[in-house]
């Protein structure tokens, strides 16, 4: 999954037999399993792990209007889910609790607020079929 702005976050439409959903991909959230990716599924209000070889052909870019609406509708929920994921998946180390909490707080504060999500561009030819 690529986009021309090199943004860490991509908004797409996931098209399946069960219906279509807006999903959000943050390339900074990595799966521990090879060939798997996490997508924030807006219908499920959760980060869901998918098989990249299966899901990549079912992801389609949003047009500018759809993208603006998706950002408006889902950005807040997405950021909440992302922060929860980071809290749950940050492994404690044998370091001072103040330092550990400071590192977690740094991750949680990285909410891309300086990014204009409406500038995320996804080219049709960037998807593997």
Q: What is the pLDDT of residue 125?
A: 43
Q: What is the pLDDT of residue 127?
A: 41
Residue 52 located in a structural domain: yes
Residue 1 located in a structural domain: no
Residue 18 located in a structural domain: yes
Q: What is the pLDDT of residue 70?
A: 97
Residue 4 located in a structural domain: no
pTM of the model: 0.68
Determine the structural domain holding residue 16 and report its residue range: 9-126
Residue 55 located in a structural domain: yes
Residue 3 located in a structural domain: no
For 90, half-sphere exposure in the C-beta direction (CA atoms, 13 angstrom radius) is 17
Residue 46 located in a structural domain: yes
Per-run averaged pLDDT (10 residues), the chain, 129 residues = 64 96 93 92 95 96 97 96 87 56 59 48 43
Please name which of 110, 101, 113 lies closest in space to residue 83, comparing C-alpha atoms: 110
Domains identified in the chain, total number: 1
């Amino acid at each position: 999954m690529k986009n021309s702005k090199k943004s860490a976050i991509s908004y797409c439409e996931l098209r399946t037999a069960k219906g279509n959903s807006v999903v959000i991909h943050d390339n900074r959230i990595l799966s521990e399993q090879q060939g798997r990716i996490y997508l924030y599924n807006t219908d499920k209000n959760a980060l869901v792990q998918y098989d990249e070889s299966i899901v990549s052909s079912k992801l389609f870019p949003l047009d500018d209007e759809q993208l603006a609406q998706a950002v408006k509708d889902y950005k807040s929920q997405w950021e909440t889910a992302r922060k929860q994921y980071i809290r749950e998946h940050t492994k404690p180390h044998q370091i001072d609790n103040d330092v550990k909490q400071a590192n977690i707080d740094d991750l949680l504060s990285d909410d891309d607020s300086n990014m204009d999500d409406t500038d995320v561009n996804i080219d049709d030819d960037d998807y593997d079929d």
